A and B are shown apart, each in its own frame.
Chain A
Amino acid sequence: MKPDSTWRDFLTPFVLLTGPGTLFIGVTLLVPLLTVVMFSFWRTESYELYADWNFDNYRVLFGEAAYRTFLIRSVVSAAVTSLICLVLAWPVAYYIARHGGRYRLLLVLLLAAPFFTGVILRIAALQGILGPGGLINMSLGLAGFAPIKLLMYTQFAATIGHIYLYIPFMVTAIYLSLVNFDFALLDTAKINGAGPFRAFIEVTWPLNWIGTSIGTVLVFIPCLASTITPRFLGGPNATSFGMSLSQQFGETGTWALGSAMSVVMFIFSFLVIAVLKFTIDLRRSGFTGAGR
Chain B
Amino acid sequence: MSSHDDTVSLSLEDICKQFGPVKAVDGINLDIRQDEFFALLGPSGSGKTTLLRIIAGLEHPTSGRVMVGGQDVTFMPPYHRRIGMVFQNFLLFPHKTVAENIVFPLRMQNIGKAQRDDRLSWAIQLLRLQGLEARYPHELSGGQQQRVSLARGLISRPALLLLDEPLANLDRELRAEMEIEIRRYQKELKIPFIYVTHNQEEALTMSDRIAVMRNGVFEQVGNRTEVYQKPKTVFVAGFVGQSNQMEGKVDKVNGGFLAFTWQGKKLVVPHAGDAKTGELVRFMIKHEDVQIEVASRKSAIPGNHNSIPGKLRDIIFKGQTVNYLVDLEGGMEIVASGSPRDMTLAAGDLVFAFWSQDTGSSFKLG
Contacts and interface: CB of A to CB of B under 8 A. Distances in A.
B95 A198 contact: no
Interface stretch (B7-15, B78-86, B237-245): B78-86
Contact of A207 (B58, B81, B89, B95): B95
B56 interface: yes
Contacts of B79: 190-195
14 contacts: A187-B58, A188-B85, A190-B78, A190-B79, A191-B78, A191-B81, A191-B84, A191-B85, A192-B84, A192-B152, A194-B79, A206-B95, A207-B95, A285-B95
Contacts of B185: none
A198 B156 CA distance: 18
A286 interface: yes
Interface of B: 56-58, 77-79, 81-85, 87, 89, 91, 93-96, 104-105, 108-109, 136-138, 152, 156
A265 B87 CA distance: 50
B93 A203 contact: yes
A289 B137 CA distance: 10
A288 interface: yes
Contacts of A189: 93, 104, 108
By size class, the interface of chain A is 20 to 34
Interface of A: 182, 184-185, 187-195, 198, 202-203, 206-207, 283-286, 288-289
B58 A190 contact: yes
A193 B136 contact: no
A193 B91 contact: no
Nearest to B106: A193
A27 to B, nearest CB: 40
Contact of B105 (A187, A193, A284, A289): A193
Given A188-B85, A207-B95, 4 more contacts: A190-B57, A193-B109, A193-B156, A198-B108
B77 A195 contact: yes
Residue of B56, B57, B79 most packed against chain A (CB within 10 A): B79
B288 to A, nearest CB: 40
Residue picked from B57, B108, B152, most chain A C-beta under 10 Å = B108
A183 to B, nearest CB: 11
Contact of B56 (A191, A193, A203, A289): A191
A7 B91 CA distance: 45
B108 A193 contact: yes
Contact of B93 (A185, A187, A190, A195): A185
A235 B350 CA distance: 104
B84 A288 contact: no
A232 B87 CA distance: 56
A108 B23 CA distance: 35
Contacts of A283: 136
Contacts of A206: 95
A185 B152 CA distance: 13
Nearest to B90: A188
B105 A192 contact: yes
A285 B78 CA distance: 26
A192 B83 CA distance: 8
Contacts of B96: 284
Contacts of A190: 57-58, 77-79
Contacts of A185: 91, 93
A24 B108 CA distance: 52
Contacts of B137: 288
Contact of B58 (A191, A285, A288): A191
Contacts of A198: 108
Contacts of A188: 85, 87, 91, 93
